[in-house]
Structure formats: C-alpha cells, structure tokens
Structure 1
Amino acid sequence: MRYLVRDRMLAFHEEAWIETEHREKLYKVNRKLLRLRTTFDFVDTQGNQIASIVKKAFTFHHTILIKRDGELVGRISKRAFSLFGDRFKVTLRDGRRLRIVGNFWDREFDIQHEGSTLAHISRRWFSIRDAYAVDVMSQHDETLLVILAVCVDHTLEDLKGEKLTNL
C-alpha cells in the first residue's frame, strides 16, 4: 500500500497530511508549539489521537518516543556520530528491533527487520518538495511504519536546520 505524506510549510503551525495513493486523507500530524520538547500528535480525520510522537530533549543521541494510549510502543534513535552514514535504530515494545537505512541526503530509505524490507520511503517521484511516498510492504502494522517514516523525516529536517545554524 502506498501512502503520501504532504507537509504544509506555510501553515501557522507545522502539520502534515497522510493520504492514500488515491488522495483520500487518513491521518494528520500536528506539531505542538511552545513546548520544551518537540511533540507531534498523529490524529485520524475525526480528530481521534492515534499516537503521540515526542522528541526527547537533552539527549546525546537524537531520540523520539512513540506512544499510543499513553503507553510507549517504540523508540527511534539516531547516532550522533557515525563513520559509515546515518543509521536509525527502532526498538518496539514487543522486542523487535528495526533498522532504517538508505540515502538520507536524498531521502531514500528503507525500514527493515531481520534483512527484509517492511517499507520504502522516497521523495524521488515528487516535484513538490514537501511530499514523499511511504510504500508499505508489510501489513503487520502499517500505521506504525508510516509514523516511523514521519519521525525520520522530521529528524532529518531538524538536523539540516542545526547544520545551517552552526555555519
């Protein structure tokens, strides 16, 4: 199943819509402003909260927590320093460990479990700068895979902003 993530850059607050490949809106990602930690709410079209995405403040590694119904379901972290490219690791509540690997500069990456690809994230086919596709190959938890893609994308945007301010 292909999902499209479309960011709205000119909105007062940061938000993104997740749609099916047929342009049917499924979820919205709202960024909560004026908080000590970066927080996103992942809500359905009726306004029901599906998940909460919280970026931990003051950590050595970039770490994001994914919560559903107040319970931690996953933790995604990126190494602060890496010799062989950026790599993200995901630890899920059920004990599974996922890897997110690929070309992060061009925003082409895969979510993998034990060598098999669960989802492929790509900006390649879009002329619109702020849209990307999430092709989900696994039907185990499609929503979680889309949430992970959004987390990686926002982490990469934050890192790009940090590099520009350090110049």
Structure 2
Amino acid sequence: MKQLYIKQKVFSLGEKFTVRDQQEQDVYYVEGSFMQIPKTFSIMNVERDEIALITKKVFSFLPTFFVEVDGREVLTIKKEFSFFKARYTIDSADIEVQGNWWDMDFEVLQHGEVVGKVSKEWFTWGDSYKVQIVDEAMEKIVIALVVAIDCVKADQAAASSAATH
C-alpha cells in the first residue's frame, strides 16, 4: 500500500501545492488557475505532464466540478439544492465514495472494492491529508478526487464568506 500526503500551503495566492510520498519527495504538482474563467486545477507528474484536470463549470445555477484523468472525464461533483446544509453528489460510472468526505475521512471504492483511503491529518498548519493508495492502478483517480473535493470545499467556503459580507 502506497501512502501519499497532500499539504496545501496556507494563503497560497497562486493555489499551488504538492503531493508527496513518505520520504517527502514530490510525486505530483497541483496548480490552480489564477483569475481565469473557467477555474481549473491541473495535476502534473514529476515530469510536469498533466495527468488530471479539474474544471469548475461556468454559468451553472449550482456549482459543478468536472474531473478528467488522462484526458477522459471520470467523475462529476455537483452541489444539490438544499436550504440548510450544503450537500453534494459525486457522479461516476464505477467510483463510489463512502464516509465523511466533507471532513476528508473516507474510502474510495471501485466496483465495491476499496482502492484508496483518505484521512485528515490533525494539528498541522494548513490542510493536510494522508492518502493511502490500495490499488496503484487507481492512484491518479484517487489523487484527482481528493484535490477535486478540496476544490469544492474551498469554493463553498468562499461562497459562504461572500454571502456574509
């Protein structure tokens, strides 16, 4: 089982962060588009080849995020209409998320088999997540899913902050 760690830089203007392995070596680079429409996050390997892309849909009533891995769309995260607590759904043909993904404590399943586990690391500066890759063939999809969920959470936080001002 492979373990990776995502630690976002607090107050990162360009929204850049890395995914590292247990030896603290960079494995993936994540870069958000700055002041660009549509908002995107690109995930690149160490050779800086793009392996995944997360795009926020423009001009939709409720926020929707598309996740592509190796050039094909693998899942969509959509906000559902609700009056009280924000609710989201993850649409995918063969990927399921079980657990509390809002608190970054969940398992990723493919056809009922666990392929990855995510847990939030506590007592760290900024958001830090431990990602366990059970099926290494699913590594890119699991990393893209974690980054996409983090994008959704950041988008929700920004929307909530804007609504209170």
Q: TM-score range by the shorter chain?
A: 0.7 to 0.9
Structure 1 spans left out of the alignment, 5+ residues: none
Report if the CA contact (8 A) 2:32-2:40 is conserved: yes
- Superposed CA offset, 1:39-74 (max 9, x none): 1111122322222221111224532223356x3331
Matched positions, count: 162
Q: 1:62 to 1:99 in 2, by over 3 A?
A: farther
Report if the CA contact (8 A) 2:67-2:148 is conserved: no
Aligned position for 2:80: 80
Shift of 1:121: 1.4
1:33 equivalenced with 2:34 (yes/no): yes
> Which segment is superposed worse, 124-133 or 47-56?
124-133
- Superposed CA offset, 1:91-143 (max 9, x none): 2xxxx332223224432122223443322211144523321111122222211
Aligned position for 1:142: 139
| Cα-Cα RMSD | 2.5
CA distance in 2, matches of 1:39, 1:23: 26
Aligned position for 1:17: 18
Report if the CA contact (8 A) 2:80-2:86 is conserved: no
CA distance in 1, matches of 2:101, 2:79: 13
Aligned position for 1:5: 6
Q: 1:130 to 1:43 in 2, by over 3 A?
A: same
Aligned position for 1:49: 50
What is the SS of the residue equivalent to 1:35? coil
Q: 1:141 to 1:112 in 2, by over 3 A?
A: closer
Q: 1:87 to 1:49 in 2, by over 3 A?
A: same
| Within-5 A mapping of 1:70-109 | 71-81=71-81, 86-91=87-92, 96-109=93-106
Shift of 1:18: 0.4
Shift of 1:155: 0.5
1:166 equivalenced with 2:163 (yes/no): yes
Report if the CA contact (8 A) 1:108-1:124 is conserved: no
What is the SS of the residue equivalent to 1:156? helix
What is the SS of the residue equivalent to 1:140? helix
What is the SS of the residue equivalent to 2:155? helix
TM-score (norm 2): 0.82
TM-score (norm 1): 0.81
CA distance in 1, matches of 2:98, 2:81: 15
Larger RCO (CA under 8 A, 6+ residues apart): 2
